[in-house]
Amino acid sequence: MSEPQPKIDHGLRLPWLGFAADYLGMAAALAALIAVFSLGTEHFFSATTFRTIANQIPSAILIATAMTYVLIIREIDLSVGSVLGWCSAVLGVAVARWQWPVPLALLAAAGAGFLCGLFNGLVTIRWRLPSFIVTLGMLEMARGAAHALTSSQTQYLGSAVEDIAGASIFGLSLPFLLAMAVVIAAQLVLSRTVFGRYMVAIGTNEEAVRLSGIDPRPVKLAVFTLTGFLVAAAAIIDTSRFQSANPNAGTGFELQAVAAAVIGGTSLMGGRGSVVSTFFGVLIIAVLNSGLAAVGARDETKRLVTGAVIVAAVIADHYRHRLARGE
């Protein structure tokens, strides 16, 4: 037997230092991007630019947060963009064509997203199918449903829902503040609750979780359903911001959300990820897009650069983790 050892001294632990170290790299990358664009064009570094970016990204933040959860449990949801279009279509048609009261229409949109997430989760779990295939099916179904409901026509809502995205505090839109609150709550759930730890455990070794006596199915179902709900919230925000419901809304959002999560260090192999880092990932993509637009880059150049940044981020993350493991 070994000698009795002193107990660990919690007073010497500096959790905030660890917290800062985790996100320092992301913050530095973001600051470097801002510095480069600020030097490249004189109009970029302004409160107006940052406020505009902040007010453009709430839906992306919500969807990327949900995608981070899904990736952590070693699944994927390819349907988030189409489900956004479907929820937006439900909201638009309910208000513009059926003349429903706005609260009821909002509830219908939220319910539409919730049901899509529930469907994805139930089918994936019940028949043990790859979520890649199930959500690919939902991607087509939701987009088809959005077009069918709207007869492929954009629904113009005028001022009926503008208050949602229009309200602001200190120049920041209510949706942005709401998205920030979701990020903080989601990170807290991920790192400090039993549910969050089970998500990480399921993504790392689902069989081990089952053998420990935990049923992984309710956790996975909750994550898919929550994703549907957050996508519906994103749809409401975007519909309000544009004051219209376009059946093509959200096209390509799934890949943007995966890109933001991956830039933030979330593993596509499951078991590793952080909502705060994903938030930085969304910011990096948004600043990159705004900055490139400010310096006059063409759309194809923006896509080229964004793609290169994603690959570079994954390579950097690979080395960061090898370093952390002492390899």
Partner 1 sequence: MSDRPLPIVQLKHVRKQFGHHEVLRSVDVNFDQGRITALVGDNGAGKSTLIKIVCGVFSPDGGQVIFDGRPVRWHNPDEARRAGIETVYQDLALIDTLSVSRNFFLAKEPCRDGFPHLLDQRKMDDEALAAIRDLGIDLQDPSRPVGTLSGGQRKSIAIARSLYFKPKLLVLDEPTAALSIKESRIVNEHVQAVKEKGISVIYITHNLYPVFSIADRFVVLERGEVIVDVERTEVTPEMLIEAVVTGRRVAPADVARAQARPAESPDVY
Q: Which residues bind partner 1 (CB under 8 A)?
A: 1-2, 4-5, 7-8, 10, 188, 192-194, 197, 200-201, 203-205, 207-215, 271-272, 325-326
Contact 81, 251 (CB under 8 A): yes
Supply the minimum distance, in Å, between the C-beta of residue 180 and partner 1.
18
- Closest to partner 1 by CB, 168 or 204: 204
Supply the minimum distance, in Å, between the C-beta of residue 26 and partner 1.
19
- Closest to partner 1 by CB, 11 or 252: 11
Nearest to 79 by CA among 124, 18, 37: 124
- Closest to partner 1 by CB, 128 or 325: 325
- Closest to partner 1 by CB, 209 or 276: 209
The token duo for 151 is 């007869």
- Closest to partner 1 by CB, 105 or 223: 223
Supply the minimum distance, in Å, between the C-beta of residue 39 and partner 1.
40
Nearest to 28 by CA among 312, 321, 292, 280: 280
Contact 73, 224 (CB under 8 A): no
Give bridge partners of residue 173 from the DSSP assignment.
Answer: 168
Supply the minimum distance, in Å, between the C-beta of residue 59 and partner 1.
26
Q: DSSP class of residue 8?
A: P
Give bridge partners of residue 156 from the DSSP assignment.
Answer: 244
Supply the minimum distance, in Å, between the C-beta of residue 324 and partner 1.
9
Supply the minimum distance, in Å, between the C-beta of residue 292 and partner 1.
35
- Closest to partner 1 by CB, 305 or 314: 314
Question: What H or E segment, with its residue span, contains residue 189?
Answer: helix 174-192
Contact 72, 277 (CB under 8 A): no
User: In 148-211, which ranges are E strands?
Assistant: 155-156, 168-169, 172-173
